[in-house]
Structure 1
Amino acid sequence: MDIDRLINDLIKREGGYVDHPADKGGPTNWGVTEQVARAYGYAGSMKALPRGRAEDIYRKRYWSGPRFDQVGQRYPRLAEELFDTGVNMGPAVAATFLQRALNALNRGAVDYPDIAADGAIGAMTLAALDAYRKARGAAGETVLLRAVDALQGARYIEIAERRAANEAFVYGWLANRVGGA
């Protein structure tokens, strides 16, 4: 997995400084929200957030922190999708999508036991992923990707239904986020 490539591709999609009036997240730069930048110790203007600082945040908060790097050792395309989904929706949401999909795909706990859909990838989630991979092989990655994408797309629709201002973003989310990072 080339996390530098993933981050570079993400930053190309996210662009530079944005402060869209309909975005409840407030100002962003390189796709990093002000709240996240502050949580990682950045105190300056969001317009001046250094790209390198954003890259460090992406590595820690959205790749190694939620253990998507470890998912990538098993299923690289799935890890890429979880990374992108985590940036847009939060890493715990992306991890929960994976856990829910794994539970739905374990054939009634025949292949492996259900796991907690708690948004934290730990030993049990990785063991379930390993058992899933053993049962379904490399082709199983595509099915997991589809399941995660389905959950992601449904969430975008729900977000727009709950807050009409989010309709400004839902087309772009579905066009650019669902179905591949």
Structure 2
Amino acid sequence: MLENFVKSLETVLKHEGGYVDHPKDPGGRTNMGITQAVYEKYLNRTVTEEEMKNIKIGDVRIIYKENYWDKIKGDDLPSGVDFCVFDWAVNSGVSRASKALQKIIGAKADGVIGPNTLKAVESADSEVIIQQLTEAREDFYKRLSTFDTFGKGWLSRNEKTAMLSLELNQKGVA
């Protein structure tokens, strides 16, 4: 739901934190969860480490809205499901999060949320979707080679995402 984007973004920014350049992170340099590659694509040019450290919050909002929220059809997903899919998309990719949702609801798992996926989501129990997405995400994390390094944080994030998603689902909107 559109009303949930602001709350969802606020929470994602808390999860992601500030500038990070961890040598074991395959995503490379990030700031507020935005990878250098994504920022360079957005600006259509190469960026320096200094620019990554000083990424503009306005750019971050636009990137998250256009590259993640809009691609997962956040405005059209039920409250709670929207945030659950959005947070996973930010953390692990839009296609992966979208395919997980599609598998759970029995839609074609092509990684693109469209009318058929939305129709299937509409007829499913949102709370069950959130619970199954949370389980699928945990299973995904545990299979990653970097789990020993980042796993504790990922599982904590997943748990917090599930709690807020269920809360949003019960309230209907943020």
Match of 1:23 in 2: 25
What is the alpha-carbon distance in structure 1 between the residues aligned to residue 87 and residue 122 of structure 2? 22
**Which letter does structure 2 place at the counterpart of 1:58?**
Y
What is the alpha-carbon distance in structure 1 between the residues aligned to residue 142 and residue 32 of structure 2? 25
Structure 2 spans left out of the alignment, 5+ residues: 165-174
The yes-or-no answer on 1:53 pairing with 2:68 is: no
Match of 1:107 in 2: none
Match of 2:116 in 1: 124
Match of 1:135 in 2: none
Classify the secondary structure of the residue corresponding to 1:119.
Answer: coil
Partner of residue 83 from structure 1, selected from 71, 83, 86:
86
**Which letter does structure 2 place at the counterpart of 1:127?**
K
Q: How many positions carry a matched residue from both structures?
A: 156
1:30 touches 1:54 (CA, 8 Å); kept in 2?
yes
Runs of 4+ in 1 over 3 A off after TM superposition: none
Largest Rg, 1 or 2 = 1
Moved more, 77-86 or 169-178: 169-178
**Which letter does structure 1 place at the counterpart of 2:6?**
D
What is the alpha-carbon distance in structure 2 between the residues aligned to residue 118 and residue 54 of structure 1? 27
The yes-or-no answer on 1:177 pairing with 2:153 is: no
Scaled by the length of structure 1, the TM-score of the pair is 0.80
Partner of residue 139 from structure 2, selected from 140, 154, 179:
154
What is the alpha-carbon distance in structure 1 between the residues aligned to residue 158 and residue 35 of structure 2? 17
Deviation at 1:34, TM superposition (A): 0.7
Structural RMSD (CA)? 1.5
Asked which structure has the greater RCO (Cα within 8 Å, sep 6+), the reply is 2
Moved more, 34-43 or 116-125: 34-43
Deviation at 1:60, TM superposition (A): 0.6
Match of 2:34 in 1: 32
What is the alpha-carbon distance in structure 1 between the residues aligned to residue 31 and residue 7 of structure 2? 18
